Amino acid sequence: MLILGIESSCDETAAALVCDATKIEQRILSNVVLTQDKEHSPFGGIVPEIAARAHLKHLDDIIMSAMTAADVSFDEIDGIAATGGPGLIGGVIVGIMSAKAIASVKKKPFIAVNHLEGHALTARLTSNISFPYLLLLVSGGHCQLLIVEDIGKYKRLGTTVDDALGEAFDKCAKMMGLGYPGGPRVEAAAKTGDERKFNLPRPMRGREGCHFSFSGLKTAVRRQIEQIGSGNMNSQDIADLCASFQRAAGDVLIDRCKNGLNQFRSIYPTGNILVVAGGVAANKSIGNRLAELKHTENIQLMIPPTELCTDNAAMIAWAGIEKLKSGHTSSLDFKPRPRWPLDPNAPPAIGAGVKA
């Protein structure tokens, strides 16, 4: 099975061709990603209108580049998968309309994919793991622990009550003048920093359950900057603050994942796989910290390669393959879903004991 995937829900315009070859290294035929960093960096964050226009301008070329790189024609593909949400509505409309147009002209199945499901299933593209597994989803818009039970079947154990972790990375980077996108810049700066220099809070650590909170950590970073005086911060101060922030975030993730693993195992006693996905999973320092759980919790830890952690269309194509194989296609009437939870039955995080 060969699927064209399209991703346009945030600030990456992407297209990919992916097949279900038994050999993992033969699955991705092409994976083209155009980031809009240049368009958004003057504003220090994503501007939805600019994002939508950039997707519209570039998507056709990106799709053709992916087709050419994979050396396939539209007649050879078995379906078109596109991100149907959650995300910025303008970009999602652009991707969905293109996918529907190709599907209707070429008479191929169209599959609307939940962007979060793309992240959630990436580990099954890059390794042979079966359901169920525990997923730590850490991206720019989401921070959740979920049990992945099957295609389309998710049980959310916890979510953030305020900022997502990627968002906290981005905001801290902005405060330190590191620019956009923040996550990779904080990671790079932290390499030469002392992670014990600043004593930052570990929100939610030690509490029951699997919810997260990062706004207090972000505020503590702001206070440190104010204390030193933003104009007085030298590159070593920035490196130390980035490293201390990463250390604190890592401590929180480890604590939350331990609770998540306990809950996972109370439902699935033999469950022993933890998958980390989403942009923040690209952070090697966070990945190394989470690797501590391999020994203390006796689990297998799976983190996809960097280029498949951050937004891409290979994950959307792969989710399309998984969905099509299990008999799920979408109607050409599908309406983009700017909000699309993986677990619609999860209760709101309000009441988790921290600011809602």
| Region near Zn ion per CB under 5 A, out of 36-44, 50-58, 124-132, 311-319 | 311-319
Tell whether residue 311 is a contact of Zn ion (CB under 5 A). Answer: yes
Determine contact, residues 197/240, Cβ cutoff 8 Å. Answer: yes
Residue 17's DSSP bridge partners are 4, 30
Residues binding ligand KG4: what is the number (CB under 6 A)? 20
Tell whether residue 311 is a contact of ligand KG4 (CB under 6 A). Answer: yes
Tell whether residue 140 is a contact of ligand KG4 (CB under 6 A). Answer: yes
Rg for the chain (alpha carbons), in Å?
A: 20
Q: Which of 80, 66, 60 is nearest to 2 (CA)?
A: 80
Tell whether residue 11 is a contact of Zn ion (CB under 5 A). Answer: no
Tell whether residue 141 is a contact of ligand KG4 (CB under 6 A). Answer: yes
The SS3 call for residue 223 is helix
Residues 6+ apart with CB under 8 A from 155: 146, 147, 149, 267, 343, 346
Residues 6+ apart with CB under 8 A from 97: none
Tokens of 307: 């280029």
| Region near ligand KG4 per CB under 6 A, out of 42-50, 88-96, 161-169, 233-241 | 161-169
169 binds, among ligand KG4, Zn ion, none (CB under 5 to 8 A by kind): ligand KG4
In this chain, which of 163, 187, 237, 240 binds ligand KG4, going by CB under 6 A? 187
The total number of residues shown for the chain amounts to: 356
| Region near Zn ion per CB under 5 A, out of 134-142, 166-174, 254-262, 269-277 | 134-142
Q: How far, in Å, CA of 315 to CA of 28, rounded?
A: 10
Determine contact, residues 66/77, Cβ cutoff 8 Å. Answer: no
| Region near Zn ion per CB under 5 A, out of 72-80, 180-188, 231-239, 303-311 | 303-311
| Region near ligand KG4 per CB under 6 A, out of 35-43, 121-129, 133-141, 260-268 | 133-141
263/285 with CB nearer ligand KG4: 285
In this chain, which of 110, 133, 154, 169 binds ligand KG4, going by CB under 6 A? 169
212 binds, among ligand KG4, Zn ion, none (CB under 5 to 8 A by kind): none
Determine contact, residues 4/63, Cβ cutoff 8 Å. Answer: yes
Tell whether residue 139 is a contact of ligand KG4 (CB under 6 A). Answer: yes
In this chain, which of 118, 132, 279, 320 binds ligand KG4, going by CB under 6 A? 279
Tokens of 247: 């250390």
Tell whether residue 86 is a contact of ligand KG4 (CB under 6 A). Answer: no
In this chain, which of 91, 183, 216, 304 binds ligand KG4, going by CB under 6 A? 183
Tell whether residue 283 is a contact of ligand KG4 (CB under 6 A). Answer: yes
- Tell me the three-class secondary structure of 9-71, residue by residue: CCCEEEEEEEECCCCHHHCEEEEEEEECHHHHHHHCCCCHHHHHHHHHHHHHHHHHHHHHHHC
Q: How many CB atoms lie within 10 A of CB 183?
A: 25
| Region near ligand KG4 per CB under 6 A, out of 34-42, 205-213, 226-234, 279-287 | 279-287
Enumerate binding residues for Zn ion (CB under 5 A).
Answer: 139, 311
Enumerate binding residues for ligand KG4 (CB under 6 A).
Answer: 10, 139-141, 166-167, 169-170, 181-184, 187, 278-280, 282-283, 310-311
